[in-house]
Amino acid sequence: MTRDEPPVESRLDSFLVDGYISEVLDIIKGGKEGTVYRCRSGPLADTSEIVAAKVYHLLERRGFRNDAIYQEDRMRGPAVRRERLAMSKKTSYGRKVQFGMWARAEYETLVRLYEAGADVPRPIACTEGAILMEYLGDESGAAPTLVSVELPHSEAIALFERIMRNIAMWLGLNLVHADLSPYNILYWAGAVTIIDFPQAIDPRFNPNARALLERDITNVSRYFERMGIRIDPARVARRLWDAFCQAVSIN
């Protein structure tokens, strides 16, 4: 933990106090942007007995070292001038702004996508530096990531098409995941659930959007090639991008 990073307990305390969780059980996984904990739900969670709490690392510990390519569409307008300056100078306030920004961004993205019917976990609550969401799995363990699963060809085709439909849906909602891979797609009960959206971008404003969209599709396609599914990621990305540009009238 860095000097300016608050302890994990303080970032989960508000979930405990507010009644969203009643107990922190164990760690599900550690990732480049945070650590996910398995928690017993509280009365306010209004969901199954187990929920997942994602606690974010500060910039110094995150894997997204070059996070400027993801932030270009977020820090706009005079209201964020002070935040921009603080972040550029790497002050304690600037680090705090960045810390909270990623949690808020992911939570707001999950709310939008879940309400639109995308295959994402149900978001439950958000606090500074942590979000609470639906848990995929059971008492014996969390749902595996797609990268650790071998699928029969027929099931692989259906799931691949499902993921591509999700990507197209996100684009229609002005979102690109921007870090999609089999490592952040969960497989449970024959279905996929896609996670890890803190770096998601708005393609209307981010100049890296098309390249990030193609990278997402390429990462997913490489996994499904093992099951005999072959596509041209560049062609698919170009088709989706052209349809998006036509819909929003940009070049």
Judge whether 204 and 248 are in contact, CB under 8 Å.
Answer: yes
Q: Among all residues, which ones are annotated catalytic? A: 179, 196
Of 179, 197, 169, which is closest to residue 106 (Cα–Cα)? 197
Give me the DSSP letters along the chain: --TTSPPHHHHHHHHHHHTSEEEEEEEEEE-SSEEEEEEEE-GGG-S-SEEEEEEEPPGGG-S-TTTHHHHTTTS-SGGGHHHHHHHHHT-HHHHHHHHHHHHHHHHHHHHHHHHHT-SSPPEEEEETTEEEEE--EETTEEPPBGGG----HHHHHHHHHHHHHHHHHHHHTT-B-SS--GGGEEEETTEEEE---TT-B-TTT-TTHHHHHHHHHHHHHHHHHTTT----HHHHHHHHHHHHHHHHT--
Q: How many CA atoms lie within 13 A of 99 on its CB side?
A: 22
Tokens in use for 68? 């400027």
d(CA 14, CA 152): 44
